[in-house]
Amino acid sequence: MFLLTPALLLALASPASLAQVNTRQTPRQVGPSILVRWQGKPGVERYRLQLATDEAFKDIVFDQAVVGRQHVVRELPPGNYFWRVAPAAGETGIYSTPARVTLGNTAGVEVADVRAPADTGGWRTATGDVPRPVPAQLRAGGIVDVVGVNAEGMIYALDGVSGIALWTSRYRPDARRGDAVGENPTPFAPLVLRIRQDESNVVVAFDGGVRALRGDSGRELWRAKLEGRVTGGVAADVNGDGGAEVALVTAKPERLYVLDGASGRVVAEQKLEAEVVGAPFPLKLGEAWGLALSHANGQLEVRGIDGKLLLATKASDELTTAPLIVTRGTMSVLVVGTNKGLMALSMPDLKTLGTIVADDDSVHGMLSAADVDGDGTTEIVMVTKRGRVALVSTVDGNVIWYAEGAMDAASATFGDLNADGVLDVIVPGGAAFAIGLSGRDGSLIWKVDEDGGRRVESSAAKGTRALVVAETLNGGAVLVGSDPSRIGLRAVELPKGALKAATR
């Protein structure tokens, strides 16, 4: 399904790169283990878990009280086992029907049941479809909230713990009472402007440009009128002055804008020759700061913060994602999705290293990156139009594994779902709210169905959606995204200890 051109393999496996490989950290090795997950009883957090070699439980090899609705049993020899669980809030209750699980010889965690418990903690709120929610610390106190824009342009800031709205705002802020919200044909995901360590403001689109809103109240701080419709942006320190700038791209007309994050003043504006895909990617070339841009017509550019062109190359294929730059030691590689696969280019000269060809498929949405196996190097996750998810090594350019079933996924996020010390890949799963794929081999290890197991029709036809991980106060995390029916946002509590690293 995925073919690697020799040029990419040779470029990434050059002597300089191999020297980096030889000094990498050794990934954590986990012996054969069993992850047992059960549905549980409402209001019960303490259970008695038993494993035996026989269905009658005459030869019990594990018998322990545990808290939560999943537990990893370690240090068992390979073989066939049966498990059962009973509520143990006080006296031990009635055990569940014994279920069989086979433990093999290979390192890793065998999952007895991929289904997340039906009463897993979380919340729902009727926001309408929010394709790209954004986690942000909008208020002092360490709470991570969620901000997003629905398909009609309504902006929601939600309490990350309860899902209750902190404030809302319209795409047409000057509309009178009773007027339509104002449809935004391609909702622009809010940008987070960090103002203090634990407080942020947000930048959102309106029908005349963009405006900044206070994170804690939604009060407008500034607005900037721009030509065209805002399609992508990034908030970052793109000139090294210690303050945040806002880099934006628009369509019809195609423009690049750089705004001062504190005032909204336009500090740079540049006409572009073609529509930009996704958001600009901030980077540094020696002492110069810049922005990498992908154009749908195949043009890949690096522009200075003044908008002037610094570097450019033209791909033979259409570009379908924003660029992503990964660095290993002194070597940087720019990767970008195309209508035929994934392309890698050297930095800073933008020379093509090679491509991964997706057979009869195209990469879409956003590329994601994380050190999945903890070996000190970054892996890349791409999602495709036909619902494939692929984990790509930046050491040799090979596809480590790929899986299917993510027809409506716009991107991937990460979390250690089975306590094996490796980050797993989490994506929308069509009719399922989310599925978790093992970071080791791509196998299905976690699945969150809709409440009551109700059937959802044609989820992919409703457009793509993204899931994000937001940290909670107790060190836990929730997974947030639109539900498959696109009624609103849903948050699902992740297994304890899942939050290990942030998605880039």
Burial class (CB in 10 A: 0-12, 13-18, 19+), 474: exposed
Average pLDDT, the chain: 85
Q: What residue ranges of the chain are covered by domains with CATH 2.60.40.10? A: 33-115
Q: What is the pLDDT of residue 50?
A: 94
Name the least confident of 79-88, 303-312, 322-331, 492-501.
492-501
- Give the pLDDT band of residue 43 (cuts 50, 70, 90): confident
pLDDT of residue 481: 95
CATH architecture of the domain with range 33-115: Sandwich (2.60)
Is residue 183 pLDDT above 80, yes or no?
no
Query: Which backbone phi and psi does 7 adopt, to 5 degrees?
Result: -60, -40
Segments of the chain assigned to CATH 2.130.10.10: 368-450+460-503
pLDDT class of 30 with cuts at 50, 70, 90: low
Mean pLDDT of 214-219: 94
Give the CATH H-level superfamily of domain 368-450+460-503: YVTN repeat-like/Quinoprotein amine dehydrogenase (2.130.10.10)
Residues 370-422 have pLDDT tens digits of 999 888 889 999 999 999 999 999 888 899 999 999 999 999 999 999 888 89
pTM here is 0.85
**What's residue 127's pLDDT?**
94
For the segment 303-322, the average pLDDT, to the nearest whole number, is 94
pLDDT, mean of residues 430-459: 81
The whole-number average pLDDT for the span 337-355 is 92
Q: Residues of the chain with pLDDT > 90: what percent?
A: 58
Look at residue 22 in the predicted model and tell me its pLDDT: 31
What DSSP assignment string belongs to 262-316? TT--EEEEEE-SSPBPS--EEEEETTEEEEEEEBTTSEEEEEETTS-EEEEEE-S
- 362: confidence class by pLDDT, cuts 50, 70, 90: very high
Q: Name the strands in the sheet holding 424-429, side by side, starting at the edge strand that comes first in the sequence.
A: 413-415, 424-429, 432-437, 444-448
Contacts for 231-234 with beta carbons within 8 Å, 24 or more apart?
Answer: 231/186, 231/188, 231/275, 231/276, 232/188, 232/276, 232/277, 232/278, 232/279, 232/280, 232/322, 233/188, 233/191, 233/203, 233/279, 233/280, 234/191, 234/279, 234/280, 234/281, 234/282, 234/291
pLDDT in the model for residue 182: 53
Of residues 229 and 117, more confidently modeled: 229
The pLDDT value recorded for residue 67 is 87
Residue 38 confidence (pLDDT): 85
pLDDT at residue 200 tops 70: yes
The pLDDT, as a whole number, for residue 7 is 41
SS3 90: coil
Q: Is the pLDDT of residue 447 over 50?
A: yes
pLDDT of residue 12: 38
- Using one digit for the tens of pLDDT, what is the confidence trace for 225-266? 999 999 999 999 888 888 899 999 999 999 999 999 999 999
User: Does the pLDDT at position 284 exceed 70?
Assistant: yes
Instruction: State the residue for tokens 């549980």.
Output: 40
DSSP-derived 3-state class of residue 109: strand
pLDDT band at 20 (very low <50, low <70, confident <90, very high): very low
